[in-house]
Amino acid sequence: MKLFADFERTRQIPMPRASTQFESLNECADPDFAYARSFVGEWFEHFPDSAAKSDVHARITSKDDDQHQTALFELYIHELLLRCGFTVVAHPPLKNGVRKRPDFLASRDNTPTLYVEATTTTESKKHSAEERVLGAICDALDKTACRNFILSATYSGEQVSMPKLGVLCRKVEEWVSGLDPSQAASGEKPTLTWEEDSWSIQFRATPISEDLHGAAGLSVVGLASRAARFIVPEEGILQSLREKADSYGALHLPFVVAINMLDRCRREVDIAKGLLRAWGGEDGRRYPNTSAALMAWLPNAIAAPRVTPILVHHPHPTYSLLVQDWPLPQYRLTKAGLIPIANPDAAAPVLLQLDR
């Protein structure tokens, strides 16, 4: 079973904004994408043949970016464990009567050492839907004759649905065709608001220089964004740990929850806040079945060579993960932040990349 088919790739960046992550990874001829395909394909080859491998294949090739990201992160964690010197079993059966299975059992020298569960702090389905709608709108507008202005698009609202793109594009074209670039340049930027159910998009037009009027290849929408909203960066970490901490009960080995931080919560201060809230402070005793949290940031395959995950120990775990059993950066959790733990056996940061 191969992850990427062999064919001549001719598509270049930028890919259409509505492209899925797998479409971009699979079809783009850009060298960075080709490089990512080489090592992700190798990770997939290393994954043990089983029903779990078929499941990973189905999810990583999915048009649903959330499914793609979770499968990519599982491949990443599996490869990380291999490069840290473990032998790995995917979806091992448990002896405590729990029918569900964790993602991985890692062993060293034929001795089971720890269980690992991979999860992702994905943005809500609502936010993902917003991105897909904005991408589809931008791609549709790029095919119109709006060439004397560059537009910004700002989404706001509580719900989102795909509009009738043809109707929206005609509305925008009619509006842009009635604008005077010289007047727009000298005053406040003209705006157009498109309302759909309980959400809306406001377009703002900025004239481009005359030498670029009608030029092919320019994106009609230069910036697409959501309206400002209040964000609690560590909330994603808190929710991920709550969902996974007791999924398998009390295990007979250390249990590590690996979290892909995709909710704007990848700073060390955000990690510390999220873990302090989840575990009940630096002396916390909540969710003791979780021995440690392994924190990483993997938004897409191209970012993988720059990822070095950090492991943060639970203050009072049921089963402690020994410092010498983990060769990468480790931390102790305090109210003041994350404090590094000295490990004389620690290896250099593991960057999961191949020779280019």
Q: 253-272, pLDDT tens digit by residue?
A: 999 999 998 876 668 888 99
Q: What is the pLDDT of residue 354?
A: 46
pLDDT beyond 50 at 72: yes
| pLDDT at site 269 | 87
pLDDT band at 355 (very low <50, low <70, confident <90, very high): very low
Query: Picking from 200-209, 227-236, 288-297, which range would have the lowest pLDDT averaged per residue?
Result: 227-236
pLDDT for 208 beyond 60: yes
For range 323-327, the mean pLDDT: 91
pLDDT band at 226 (very low <50, low <70, confident <90, very high): confident
Whether pLDDT at 350 is above 70: no
Question: To the nearest whole number, what is the mean pLDDT of the chain?
Answer: 86
**Residue 71's pLDDT band (cuts 50, 70, 90):** very high
Whether residue 230 has pLDDT greater than 80: no
Over residues 145-157, mean pLDDT: 83
Higher pLDDT, 348 or 35: 35
Q: How confident is the model at residue 105 (pLDDT cuts 50, 70, 90)?
A: very high
pTM of the model: 0.80
HEC string of the chain equals: CCCCCCCCCCECCCCCCCCCHHHHHHHECCHHHHHHHHHHHHHHHHCCCCHHHHHHHHHHCCCCHHHHHHHHHHHHHHHHHHHCCCEEEECCCCCCCCCCCCCEEEEECCEEEEEEEEEECCCCHHHHHHHHHHHHHHHHHCCCCCCCEEEEEEEEECCCCCCCHHHHHHHHHHHHHCCCHHHHHHCCCCEEEEEECCEEEEEEEEECCHHHCCCCCCCCEEEEEECCCCCCCCHHHHHHHHHHCCCCCCCCCCEEEEEECCCCCCCHHHHHHHHHHHHCCCCCCCCCCCCEEEEECCCCHHHHHHCCCEEEECCCCCCCCCHHHCCCCEEEEECCEEEECCCCCCCCCCCCCCCC
Which part of the chain is CATH 3.40.1350.120?
64-123+233-340
Q: Which fold has domain 64-123+233-340?
A: Trna Endonuclease; Chain: A, domain 1 (3.40.1350)
